[in-house]
Amino acid sequence: MAYLTAFVAHSDCGRHDTGWAHPEHQGRLPAILNAIYEDTPALLDAVMQAEAVPASEVDLLRVHTPGLLERVRAAVAEASRQGTQVSLDADTVVSAASWDAALAAAGCAITAVRLTLGGEVGSAFALSRPPGHHAGADYSMGFCLFNNVAVAARWAQVHHGIGRILIIDWDVHHGNGTQDIFYDDGAVHYLSLHQSPHYPGTGSARERGAGQGLGATTNVPVPAGMSRPAYMDTFREALDQALHAASPELVLISAGMDCLAGDPLGGLRLEPADVHQMTREVVDRARVPVVAVLEGGYAPRRVGLAVVNALRAFAGLPAKD
């Protein structure tokens, strides 16, 4: 059977235990998987289900410092000894299984890229957890341990010789880690639409890259409560400009579903059907392999419907209300 798209998951992603009071809790992935299974009759012939191969430390070290890996590993070991969560910062915690979960999360992104660049599918959605776009080369923060999208981008460069990559980030929070990693890299362009002012306080339109990366970073801060039509117009304009500037061979989407109305950590007004439209706009305009990687999103049932709509867009199916 020739599948149009894929969704990639790994059971270890669900073992990252932040505690049920934490916004990025273990209920997120089951809600998404339940939404996908409920839509199985529509998706069955178009969507390949794939199990991720966990990332290796070599994969992580293309992006992150050995010191960061050791700090995360040590915190996870301490969590195992204590039998409880250990905090890396005020927002970011690990449990005994978080090291395995982090390798699986990055592996979901890598496997999704491998499937698309290998020609098995034209697009893929990686159900990565914990999320990644706040993690920089030498720091974890904002619920993120390692930067899944950045690790997948470097993997594509090394294993497939991809020269030009565009990362599109529509999470409600600016992806400061992704920006920092590629800030002086002219081969990887970064486009972020994010609520401003908002956590983490970065992402000014004045932040445009440095050195060889000058002009390869584009930040589009948007206000809380921005109307859906205004947001979509802004998204299309920014997307067209980024695609023209980057001329990418691969597009990666940091698919943060906290851009949806009703998310407890955001103030935007998008609906799951808007995620379908944005995904479709990327596919139609880019005309290259596209991989979406889950980032934030803390209203689990709405996030599940949004992920279904992203898969439907990849598969050429209509949006689901």
> Is the confidence at residue 2, as pLDDT, over 80?
no
pTM as predicted:
0.98
Q: Is residue 321 part of a domain?
A: no
Percentage of the chain exceeding pLDDT 90: 99
CATH code for the domain of 227: 3.40.800.20
For residues 148 and 171, what is the distance between their CA atoms, to the nearest angstrom?
14
Q: Is residue 285 part of a domain?
A: yes
Name the catalytic one among 134, 174, 189, 276: 134
> Is the confidence at residue 10, as pLDDT, over 80?
yes
Query: Amino acid letter at 185?
Result: D
**Residues 24-43: pLDDT tens digits?**
999 999 999 999 999 999 99
| Number of neighbouring beta carbons within 10 Å of residue 197 | 9
Q: Is residue 227 part of a domain?
A: yes
For residues 212 and 109, what is the distance between their CA atoms, to the nearest angstrom?
26
Structural domain total, the chain:
1
For residues 307 and 255, what is the distance between their CA atoms, to the nearest angstrom?
9
For residues 78 and 72, what is the distance between their CA atoms, to the nearest angstrom?
10
Query: pLDDT value at position 3?
Result: 86
Please say if 276 is a catalytic residue.
no
**Residues 190-234: pLDDT tens digits?**
999 999 999 999 999 999 999 999 999 999 999 999 999 999 999
Q: Is residue 320 part of a domain?
A: no
Q: Is residue 73 part of a domain?
A: yes
**Residues 74-92: pLDDT tens digits?**
999 999 999 999 999 999 9
Whole-angstrom CA distances from 169 to 138, 180, 286 are: 21, 14, 15
Query: pLDDT value at position 94?
Result: 98
Q: Is residue 41 part of a domain?
A: yes
For residues 219 and 204, what is the distance between their CA atoms, to the nearest angstrom?
6
Q: Considering the chain, what is the average pLDDT of its residues?
A: 97
Query: pLDDT value at position 318?
Result: 97
Q: Which domain holds residue 184?
A: 5-315
